[in-house]
Amino acid sequence: MSKCGLIKLGLAAAMLASTSAVSEGGDVGSSPAYRPPPTPIPFAWTGFYAGAHAGVGWSNGDSSGSSGVIGGGQVGFNYQINQWVLGIEADLAGTTIKDSVSATVVGPGAVLTGNAQASLDWVSTLAPRIGYAFDRWLVYGKVGAAWAHGSGSASGAINGMPVASISVDQTVSGLMLGLGAEYALWDNWTAKVEYNMMDFGNSGPFADNKFNILKAGINYRFGGPGGHF
């Protein structure tokens, strides 16, 4: 082969090598770049919700104070501004809270007996609430109105013979204070624990008209999944 032919063959080999390098470089450049995982979207508390709850209730009386279980439901609405959550909630619950007392007085030729009992049939509250959200956690307090329906009766007897009886059936109103915490489980479901103190003043069939309620509940928020309204 002539010297000119060798030069042409060398130039052709150099061009092929250059083309291969450019092609490999292009392949490297076209490989997908690393993308960090998406930032989780904070849970949004805005929306209407409804749910159910159950718990225990007791009066502020002495060791003989009344106590029982409670159970019912609630509805409400939340509106979130940054991490602050403003809302209003109404609930209604039946109770088994009861109280009773009896007394006997022995006199000359006579035995006087007396019995009295009272029951707290249901309680209801309506209160605005304000909370602070830590993503899926919400801590809150509320102050509002409370209503309760109580019924009671009292009777007396002399030597076992009934001589008097009286009954009371009354709905009373008062003040409610509450504290609670709520956690977003998944999508639209949340669970909560809440303490309420209700003060009905001097009205109603109970001797002590301050009641405490500790309850746990679950809510379903109406809106899109993941807490978005």
pLDDT at 102 over 80: no
* Pairwise CA distance, residues 99 & 110, whole Å: 27
pLDDT digits (tens, 9 = 90+) for 60-78: 764 456 789 999 999 999 9
Over the stretch 137-193, which tens digit does the pLDDT of each residue have? Answer: 999 999 999 999 887 767 666 656 666 667 678 888 999 999 999 999 987 899 999
Helix (H) or strand (E) holding 102: strand 84-107
Q: Structure tokens of 217? A: 């509940």
Q: Regarding the domain delimited by 46-227, which CATH topology (the fold level of the hierarchy) does it fall under?
A: Porin (2.40.160)
Judged against a pLDDT cut of 60, whether residue 46 lies above it is answered with yes
Alpha carbon 170 to chain centroid, angstroms: 29
Query: What amino acid occupies position 76?
Result: G
Distance, in Å, from the CA atom of 23 to the CA atom of 201, rounded to the nearest integer, reads 88
The pair phi, psi for residue 58, each rounded to 5°, is: -155, 160
Segment 114-152, tens digit of pLDDT: 666 678 889 999 999 999 999 999 999 999 999 998 877
d(CA 170, CA 5): 118
Q: Where do the structural domains in the chain lie, given as residue ranges?
A: 46-227
Residues comprising the chain, all counted: 229
What is the residue type of 16?
Answer: L
pTM higher than 0.75: no
* Bridge-based pairing state of the strands 67-81 and 47-59: antiparallel
Residue 88's pLDDT band (cuts 50, 70, 90): very high
pLDDT of residue 107: 61
Mean pLDDT, all residues of the chain: 79
Are residues 55 and 73 in contact, defined by beta-carbon separation less than 8 angstroms? no
pLDDT of 226 higher than 60? no
In a 3-state reduction of DSSP, which class is residue 125? strand
**Residue 21 binned pLDDT confidence (cut-offs 50, 70, 90):** very low
